[in-house]
Amino acid sequence: MDTFRASFVVLLVLLVTHCIEVKSQTCRPSGKIRGIKPPPGQCNQENDSDCCVQGKLYTTYTCSPPVSSNTKATLTLNSFQKGGDGGGPSECDNHYHSDDTSVVALSTGWYSGGGRCHNHIVISANGQSVRAMVVDECDSTMGCDEDHDYQPPCPNNIVDASKAVWKALGVPEDNWGELDITWSDA
């Protein structure tokens, strides 16, 4: 009977551990913020960037889906140059970066508090792959304020990429905007 109880306890511990692990891999919204109307000329709409809408509720996230060797994401277009729709200098190095350089911003959870700064990721789509350096966070926790160019928070599955990344993936310029991709750490 003691062997049965010991086996039961081991099974119970394994089951509880598995349930906790599965729960920890789930990324749920962390809250909402209410949009405010940007002051005239304060929302940079380069690359078809959205501006916050007065009163609209925007979902925020502190996490992103788990990273694997084939992480699914949405690629968006961003300018990392001074005056571009990316806003201020990049979080990783407080510098602007040329749109001719393969650089990206990752959603808050993937950005990992700067843990991926200056690391390269491999982005795959359209039968092509490109290496790009992480230089910024696509903020999923905040937005609709001056610091974020009055743009909404990023969804939790965004790889915001320079024009160089889009070109390397062979996407025709008239199709730039959003693209389903996979990515992994290089």
Q: Which two tokens stand for residue 184?
A: 């992994």
Answering whether pTM is above 0.85, one says no
Walk along the chain (186 residues) and give the pLDDT tens digit of each residue. Answer: 566 565 544 544 444 433 333 334 579 999 999 999 989 888 878 777 889 999 999 999 999 999 999 999 999 999 999 988 777 899 999 999 999 999 999 999 999 999 999 999 999 999 999 999 999 999 999 999 888 888 899 999 999 999 999 999 999 999 998 999 999 999
What is the reported pLDDT for 77? Answer: 94
Q: List 103's β-bridge partners, or say none.
A: 133
**CB within 8 A of 175, min separation 6: which ones?**
none
The pLDDT value given to residue 23? 37
The C-alpha angle with vertex 177 and arms to 170 and 78, in degrees rounded to 5, equals 95
Task: Tell me what pLDDT residue 15 has.
Answer: 42
* Residue 31: per-residue pLDDT: 96
Instruction: Give yes or no for a contact between 78 and 60, defined as CB atoms under 8 angstroms apart.
Output: no
Q: What is the pLDDT of residue 86?
A: 76
User: Measuring CA to CA, which residue among 82, 89, 75, 83 is closest to residue 44?
Assistant: 83
Name the strand (E) or helix (H) holding 139: none
Cα–Cα separations (whole angstroms), residue 99 to 83, 124, 128, 153: 12, 19, 19, 22
Do the beta carbons of residue 133 and residue 103 sit within 8 Å?
yes
